[in-house]
Amino acid sequence: MTVSDIFLQHFSIEKLKETFSDHIVYSRATGIDNLDQYAFRSQLDEQVEILNRKAIAGNYRFTKYKLKLVSKGRNKVPREISIPTVRDRIALRSLCNFLTEIYQDSIEFELPQNIVKKVKNDLNHGQYDACIKLDVTNFYPSIKHKELLSRLGRKIRVPSIKNIILSAISSPTVSASKSSDLPSSRGVPQGLAVSNILAAIYLSNIDNHLSSMHSIKYYRYVDDVLIFCNLCEAIEIAEQVIKMFRKIGLKVHDPIKAPEKSSIGPIVNGFDYLGYQFTSNKVTARIGSVERLKHSLVSIFTSYKYSKQKSESFLLWRLDLRITGCIYENKSKGWLFSLQKLMMKVFCMRWIIMS
């Protein structure tokens, strides 16, 4: 099938309704129009028909996104999350599915757990003696639209489809809509269904180049880069990678000036990556990750304590899900570690609740 055929397939009325049922129907989030999924459901046929007609004509335009601020901790700038309207969420999920199919042979998404397994396996081989950790600052907000559209143009040559994608990333994120709001000229809004795949497409050239180098091992998860190499070449490699990111408008924290963000050092000194601490042949949860888990468990118990309807089964389900995780679409999510002290505390708290 051609790119146009695949697009038409994902934006057919039947597929759009299926997308709503599979991905949107249980969400409570509302966009700037304050229309929730319950009210939307009563006008589903009409809204899907509009989306289908405008998408096929190539003139569908996204509504402004509602701003949601998510705290990243004390003394840190909060993360800006963009909340679309219900209809736009159907469109964004359909765009994500479309792009995933188009790029299925060239872009691979991996869960953090799988990346950690690969890191551990490569460590056990002992081929490298140095590690480079690089952190991209303001990753999503720094993505250049022109550069992204250029990458998309290699596979998607239909102007109307690219215009819809451009509308998705240029629609402004606001706390309250005003006539003076201007489209965004740079960046990909965070929290959208298409955000991750567009970011991956943007970095595809760098990923492909560095992954093909035999003298290093390269890993990337969103804006966190890890490279194994020989210590004598580490500084030079880090400088080359930073320069590659700079060419596409992305700034990487300098490992010399900001060692808390980026770093270069011998592998034997240990390092942390994606919430895990790597020391010798051991992989353990980073202290910060354990503390966050503790706080989330306390929050679960607090919610139960002040709940009007105290459901013990729901409490235990939330605890089990948070600690053990789950398997969704044959992929493991969450974490299950040998944290004996933490598990003992949880056991005691559960025993107290059930007593």
Lowest-confidence pick of 82-86, 150-154, 202-206, 288-292: 288-292
> How far apart are alpha carbons 173 and 67 in whole angstroms?
6
Identify whether the C-beta of residue 225 lies closer than 8 Å to the C-beta of residue 137.
no
pLDDT at 172: 96
Higher pLDDT, 293 or 122: 122
Condensed to tens digits (0 to 9), the pLDDT of residues 95-104 reads 999 999 999 9
pLDDT at position 11: 97
200, 250 contact by CB (below 8 A): no
Yes or no: say if 135 and 253 are a contact pair by the CB < 8 Å rule: yes
Which pLDDT does position 311 carry in this prediction?
83
What's the pLDDT score for residue 288? Answer: 65
Residue with tokens 């099938």, as numbered in its chain: 1
Which is higher by pLDDT, 331 or 206?
206
Residue 346 has pLDDT above 60, yes or no: no
- pLDDT tens sequence across 37-63: 889 999 999 999 999 999 999 999 999
Here the tokens at position 176 are 């309250």
Rounded CA gap, 25 and 34, in Å?
15
> pLDDT, tens digit, for every residue of 102-112?
999 888 888 88
pLDDT score of 327? 54
Q: How confident is the model at residue 341 (pLDDT cuts 50, 70, 90)?
A: very low
Q: Residue 1: CB partners within 8 Å, gap ≥ 6?
A: 9
Entry field: residues in the chain: 355
What share of the chain has pLDDT > 70, as a percent?
Answer: 88
- Where does the chain have alpha helices with state H? 3-10, 13-19, 37-41, 44-57, 86-102, 112-125, 139-142, 145-152, 159-170, 195-202, 204-211, 234-247, 287-305, 312-324, 340-354
Q: What is the pLDDT of residue 190?
A: 95
Q: In the predicted model, what is the mean pLDDT of the chain?
A: 87
Spatial separation of the C-alpha atoms in residues 139 and 148, rounded to whole Å = 13
Helix (H) or strand (E) run with residue 65 in it: strand 65-70
Select from 232, 246, 254, 228 the least CA-distant residue to 134: 254
Residue 215 pLDDT greater than 60, yes or no: yes
Q: Which two tokens stand for residue 150?
A: 């250029």
pLDDT digits (tens, 9 = 90+) for 250-271: 999 988 888 888 999 999 998 8
Q: What are phi and psi of 21, to 5 degrees?
A: -65, -35
Contacts 24+ apart (CB under 8 A), 340-343: 342/290, 342/293, 342/294
Cβ–Cβ under 8 Å, residues 44 and 17: yes
pLDDT tens column, 133-186: 999 999 999 999 999 999 999 999 999 999 999 999 999 999 989 999 999 999
**17's tokens:** 């309704």
H/E stretch holding 132: strand 130-137
Q: What phi, psi does 261 have (nearest 5°)?
A: -105, -50
Rg (CA), the chain: 23
> Does pLDDT of 319 surpass 50?
yes
3-class DSSP assignment, residue 272: strand
